[in-house]
Every structure is written in C-alpha cells, then in structure tokens.
Amino acid sequence: MKFKQFFVLLLFLSVGILQNAAHARTQEEIERDLAKAADTAVAAYKEQGMLGLIIKTEECYERNIKKPLDCVYLDLASRRIDQVFVETMYFPPSEFFADEQFGPRIFPVLVSANMDMNTANQFLASITPVINNLVEKKLLGKK
C-alpha cells in the first residue's frame, strides 16, 4: 500500500472513531487540526527547544476548553519531536513527554470526548502515525 493511501485510510479510521466521540468531525477538520498541531510543535521547538514544547503543551491544556483534542494532537506532535531527537541525536528523553506524565494529561480529554479505554486506544493508534509523519515532514523536510 502506498503511503498516501495508508495516510487516507488512517484519517478515515480517525474520523470514524471521532464521530463516535462527543463531537463529530469532518475529515477536513481533522486534517487541518493535525497539520496545525504539527506546525505549532515544530515552530515552538525551533523557537525555544524542548522547553518551548513543554510550555505550549501545558498552555494548551490550561486554556483550550473548546477543542481539547487539539491539545492531545499537540502533545503527540511534541512527543514525536522529543523521540526524533532521542533517536537521531541521542539526546536524553524529556520526562514531560514520557508515558507516565503523558497519560494523565490526555486521559481527562479522552474521557470528556466520551471515549472508553478501547476507543481511546484505537484513536491513539490511528492518529499517532499520522501526526508522526506530519512532524517528520515539517521538522526534517521529508517528502
């Protein structure tokens, strides 16, 4: 399967999962939100490094009441940036983006979106590769 087909399939899965959540979203809205999260994370990293990512992520959860899933997208994008630098530059991983701190941040958002554990896991499994790809393209210039 070509990457573009895989990407579209993941987006359709995500749309289906999100439509079962509290607010139905169109594919275009999800694509726009994912691209915005990747753009925001990469810009924050380029301006202020890992500290910038942490600040942006914390601010999002504190201030974004209308679209809290956007904070999960930003968190996932920021985690990917952390992973990229851990893998490529052998930097130590940021504790802020470790599972132990990530889970408690996203759990209330997913619960408020009416996701049970199974739906939340499916949502994360479908959306993470999409966000990872967007971040890598923007950060590393991959095509």
Q: What is the mean pLDDT of residues 132-140?
A: 92
The model's pLDDT over 37-51, given as tens digits with 9 standing for 90+, comes to 999 999 999 999 999
pLDDT greater at residue 22 or residue 112 = 112
Q: Is the pLDDT of residue 1 over 50?
A: no
Q: Which pLDDT score, from 0 to 100, does residue 24 have?
A: 65
Q: At what angle do helices 69-89 and 27-63 cross, to 10 degrees?
A: 90
Closest alpha carbon to 131 in 22, 23, 51, 14: 14
Q: Is the pLDDT of residue 137 over 60?
A: yes
Q: Which pLDDT score, from 0 to 100, does residue 142 have?
A: 63
The model's pLDDT over 19-30, given as tens digits with 9 standing for 90+, comes to 444 456 788 888
Contacts of 41 (CB under 8 A, 6+ apart): 53, 56, 74, 77, 78, 80, 81, 135
The model's pLDDT over 54-98, given as tens digits with 9 standing for 90+, comes to 999 999 999 987 899 999 999 999 999 999 999 998 889 999 999
pLDDT greater at residue 29 or residue 5 = 29
H-helix or E-strand spanning residue 112: helix 99-112
Amino acid at 17: I
Closest alpha carbon to 26 in 34, 60, 7: 34
Q: Which pLDDT score, from 0 to 100, does residue 58 have?
A: 96
Q: Is the pLDDT of residue 5 over 90?
A: no
Q: pTM of the prediction?
A: 0.81
Q: Which pLDDT score, from 0 to 100, does residue 30 have?
A: 87
